[in-house]
């Protein structure tokens, strides 16, 4: 399949069931721990991706955030420690239980405002929380919905949850980088649930079609795919300085995202609920 192609299936399937099964069978997946001060310091670190997201989509200091497909609560905890009030939804009851345990262990070290629930976002009743959140996001979830209609439904529901002026944020794997096809054929993605190859162009079009304004899509995490590639030229002594230099400089260079996508591991799309 050509990179960037929209992998439209002939029948519409909901990948959520595959996730539910996978996570039931893998008790260690998306299980995070916070048992020591060192764990807490790691959990608290916002990281480059969130610093970039919050520059692109600024929200009030103690604003409300909603995460679709929160997994084990890695992002929820990080953002709750920063002072945001967070709420997560995941289709896997097992994973939601892991999130509860993780959030409870984090709360031993700092007061946080966090909640989580089990549910399928495709059926989620957005009305009870309509226009409630300053930022509604997902990390690595929506690319698994191969059907464009289902993705449109998801963007629409996310928009309904955001207050007027609130942000929708999507963090997806970059489907355009140079090793993407190899990652796909050699199974380097970490799981076997199919996903579409997102480009900034496709993502921007989907956000605009969802009626979002101030839409931006940027590439992120340059050369982050190298560790999985095991190429001789990507050995650690070469890789570390390359990664550091590329990620410090490239975001600021006035090169089109189309070229940056070839070496980026992640795309970040933001749009505002006007
Ligand atoms: C690749 S994992 C990402 C987890 C988390 N966002 C992270 O980055 O650590 C995808 C998550 O989305 C959840 N998920 C998939 N379909 C869903 C749906 N329809 N509604 C809610 N959660 C869903 C899965 O159960 C899984 O935990």
SS3 content of the chain, % helix, strand, coil (to 5): 45, 20, 35
Separation in Å, CA 214 to CA 128, 209, 274: 26, 13, 9
Our answer on whether the CB atom of 122 is closer than 6 Å to any ligand 1 atom is yes
The rounded Å distance from CA 174 to ligand 1 centre is 17
Our answer on whether the CB atom of 22 is closer than 6 Å to any ligand 1 atom is no
Q: Which residue has the higher pLDDT, 33 or 229?
A: 33
Query: Can you tell me which atom of ligand 1 is nearest the CA of 193?
Result: 1
Grade residue 12 by pLDDT with cuts at 50, 70 and 90: low
Separation in Å, CA 56 to CA 70, 163, 224: 21, 17, 21
The rounded Å distance from CA 71 to ligand 1 centre is 5
Our answer on whether the CB atom of 82 is closer than 6 Å to any ligand 1 atom is no
Q: Which of 168-172, 182-186, 201-205, 217-221 has the least mean pLDDT?
A: 182-186
Could you report the per-residue pLDDT of 93-134, keeping only the tens digit for each?
999 999 999 999 999 999 999 999 999 999 999 998 988 999
Ligand 1 pocket test, pick from 90, 95, 143, 268 with the greatest ligand atom count within 8 Å of Cβ, gives 90
Q: Which of 3-7, 118-122, 173-177, 224-228 has the least mean pLDDT?
A: 3-7
Average pLDDT over residues 219-224: 89
Average pLDDT over residues 220-248: 76
Residue 231: what pLDDT? 63
**What pTM did the predictor assign?**
0.91
Our answer on whether the CB atom of 273 is closer than 6 Å to any ligand 1 atom is no
Q: Which of 4-18, 52-66, 133-147 has the least mean pLDDT?
A: 4-18
The rounded Å distance from CA 115 to ligand 1 centre is 16
Query: Can you tell me which atom of ligand 1 is nearest the CA of 23?
Result: 25
State how far the Cα of 23 lies from the Cα of 71, in Å rounded to an integer: 9
Q: Which residue has the higher pLDDT, 42 or 251?
A: 42
């Amino acid at each position: 399949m050509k990179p960037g192609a929209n992998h439209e299936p002939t029948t519409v399937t909901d990948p959520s069931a595959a996730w539910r099964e996978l996570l039931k069978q893998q008790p260690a997946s998306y299980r995070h721990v916070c048992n020591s001060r060192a764990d807490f310091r790691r959990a608290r670190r916002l990281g480059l991706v969130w610093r970039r997201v919050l520059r692109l989509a600024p929200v009030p200091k103690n604003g409300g955030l909603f995460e679709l497909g929160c997994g084990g609560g890695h992002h929820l905890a990080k953002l709750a420690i920063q002072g945001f009030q967070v709420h997560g939804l995941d289709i896997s009851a097992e994973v939601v239980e892991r999130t509860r345990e993780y959030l409870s262990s984090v709360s031993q070290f700092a007061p946080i405002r966090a909640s989580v629930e089990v549910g399928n976002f495709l059926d989620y009743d957005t009305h009870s929380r309509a226009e409630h959140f300053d930022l509604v996001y997902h990390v690595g979830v929506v690319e698994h919905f191969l059907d464009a209609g289902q993705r449109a439904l998801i963007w629409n529901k996310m928009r309904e949850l955001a207050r007027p002026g609130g942000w929708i944020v999507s963090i997806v794997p970059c489907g355009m980088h140079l090793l993407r096809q190899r990652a796909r054929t050699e199974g380097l993605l970490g799981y076997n649930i199919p996903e579409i190859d997102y480009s900034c162009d496709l993502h921007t079009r989907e956000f605009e079609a969802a009626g979002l304004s101030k839409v931006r899509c940027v590439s992120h995490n340059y050369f982050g795919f190298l560790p999985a590639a095991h190429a001789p030229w990507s050995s650690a002594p070469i890789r570390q300085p390359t990664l550091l230099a590329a990620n410090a400089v490239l975001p600021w260079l006035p090169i089109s995202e189309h070229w940056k996508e070839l070496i980026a591991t992640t795309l970040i799309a933001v749009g505002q609920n006007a």
